[in-house]
Amino acid sequence: MNIAILGIRGSHLDEEERDKAFQKIVEIHDRFEMPKLMTMKSPHGGVNTMVELFCKAQHVPHEYYSYGDTLEDWKESNKLMAERCDVMFILTTKIKKEKCHHCYDMTHETTGACFAMKHAKKVGKKTKLIIL
């Protein structure tokens, strides 16, 4: 099963949220039998980098998608991952500075991961937003 895990950048996480995020990554992995984890190769740290580090440390099968060089590259990588995953999890925080402009709701901080989640929903994939 292909499980995509994306989330908020590292600079938007405090120490407690980082701990919760890593715990959630482990919990998500453990919910599925022999999952392959998918995420974006992130220059911003945060949830995506935690997924990558977890996969390397635990020898978990994984698939990383490139940020690319342009916004269009980034969008295409997100769409491709959304189409290839079976389930997508998004980890973010409550609103601290800016509400999510992808979801248009008042529950969580903005993250580009919600762009991927929106596309995953559009193509019929299961998604789950987790607010740390």
Apex 101 CA angle, 42 and 40, nearest 5? 15
Beta bridge partners of residue 64, listed in sequence order: 39
Could you tell me the domains of the chain?
2-131 (3.40.50.450)
Whole-prediction pTM: 0.90
* Mean pLDDT confidence for 106-128: 87
List, for residues 48-95, the tens digit of each pLDDT value.
999 999 999 999 999 999 988 999 999 999 999 999 999 999 999 887
Q: Per the structure block, which two tokens stand in for 14?
A: 């405090």
Q: In what order do the strands lie in the sheet with 36-40?
A: 62-65, 36-40, 2-7, 87-92, 126-131
Closest CA to 42 of 5, 95, 14: 5
111 — pLDDT class (breaks 50, 70, 90)? confident
Per residue in 13-28, pLDDT (tens digit) is 899 999 999 999 999 9
Mean of the pLDDT values across residues 25-44?
91
